[in-house]
Structures are given as structure tokens and as C-alpha cells.
Chains A and B, each alone.
Chain A
Amino acid sequence: GQSLEQPSEVTAVEGAIVQINCTYQTSGFYGLSWYQQHDGGAPTFLSYNALDGLEETGRFSSFLSRSDSYGYLLLQELQMKDSASYFCAVGMDSNYQLIWGAGTKLIIKP
């Protein structure tokens, strides 16, 4: 079967750095994506890794190691508005279908 594992909840302090890990076991792999979802809202795209290495976009970075079936999302200079759920998702096939992790709720304390 297909599975993605990520922590259910992470707590951090405003201004700090936090890393959210994701390991996956899927029959296909085109790339690893990360999405952010605030309570009551729809997911918004954060990043995508198809190749090994680190991708940086402002305060957010995402890493992929295909040999380890592992990736992470790194959030720096945390702000209160970053409190949300973060989902990793694996692109499975040429139809761009995504398999989703269960999500990590990020709680930020002042």
C-alpha cells in the first residue's frame, strides 16, 4: 500500500526554526510536495522537490532524499501566522495525482 508518515503535532516558539519530517512508501514517485492549510481554509502550495537536495523559498525550505524516501520542510523565523497544518504529498503518476500525509499541526507559542 501507499503510506506517508509525518508527526501529528509540532510545537515551536515564535522566531525559532522548526523542521517537519516526512517519510514515504509509495509504488510510484514523481516528486514530494508540501502544502499549508489554515483552519477552515483550503491547502496552499508551498514547495515541490523532484530531485535530491534543498529547495529554498524565502523563510521556507524543503529537502528530499529519494534514496531514503525522506523529505522535510524547514520553517525559519517562525511567525504566529505560520500556525497551521502542513501536509506532505507524493506525486504518484503522470496524472499528477497526489497521495497525502495525515498532516502536521504546527503550534507556535509567543
Chain B
Amino acid sequence: GAVVSQHPSWVICKSGTSVKIECRSLDFQATTMFWYRQFPKQSLMLMATSNEGSKATYEQGVEKDKFLINHASLTLSTLTVTSAHPEDSSFYICSASRGPPYEQYFGPGTRLTVT
């Protein structure tokens, strides 16, 4: 159990458009969901933490108006990259937690390329 899906797995979009990424916990209810971005050969950078029904908590330096997070249910969170620019190109990964211990289940990631 504890499978997390992420859609789409890759997307190419033009500069100025918006892209929505979905993260779903398929066989469990996620207490908390996390959104990360990762640049090549670097560690994961936490962007925001979201709990169902409440506003996401963004990490310092992450623009909440640019990276909109909606956590509509215990199994679904979405990240929308608004007015995307080439510098937003990255690997975006979501994870979900269903409680202690500190095990986060990761989605397969979404590779975003903005041209």
C-alpha cells in the first residue's frame, strides 16, 4: 500500500502559460502533502506543506501567488505554476504522509519544461 500518483509525468509549455500538476494518494488518506522541486544533481527543495482544507504553508522564498496549491481532499493536492517562465523548468515531486513515523510516500514526479 501507500501509493502516490502524480500527473502529468512530464509537460512542455510555453512561457506565460499556467500548468497544473495533480498529486493523489491512491490507497490511503494523506494527513499532509508536500511539494518539492529538484534541480539536476541537487537535493529536494521543499516548496510548501499542505493540509486538507487549510491554506498551504510556503517555505521562505517561494512565491505563493506563483505556485498555487489546493488541497481539496485527503487524497488530492494540486500545484499550479502560474505564468510559467523558463526558470521554472524543474522536476516537481509531491509526497504524502499518513502520520507517524516520518515516512513520506513520493509520487513519480513531474518534469516541467518551459520554452
Contacts and interface: CB of A to CB of B under 8 A. Distances in A.
A107 to B, nearest CB: 13
Interface string A94-110: 01111011110000000
A31 B43 contact: no
Interface residues of A, number: 21
B68 interface: no
A42 B109 contact: yes
B42 to A, nearest CB: 7
Contacts, number: 59
B26 to A, nearest CB: 14
B107 A100 contact: no
B1 to A, nearest CB: 13
Contact of B49 (A44, A89, A97): A97
A87 B43 CA distance: 8
A50 B100 CA distance: 10
**What 7 A-B pairs have minimum CB-CB distances, sorted nearest first?**
A91-B102, A42-B106, A96-B97, A48-B101, A42-B109, A102-B43, A31-B102
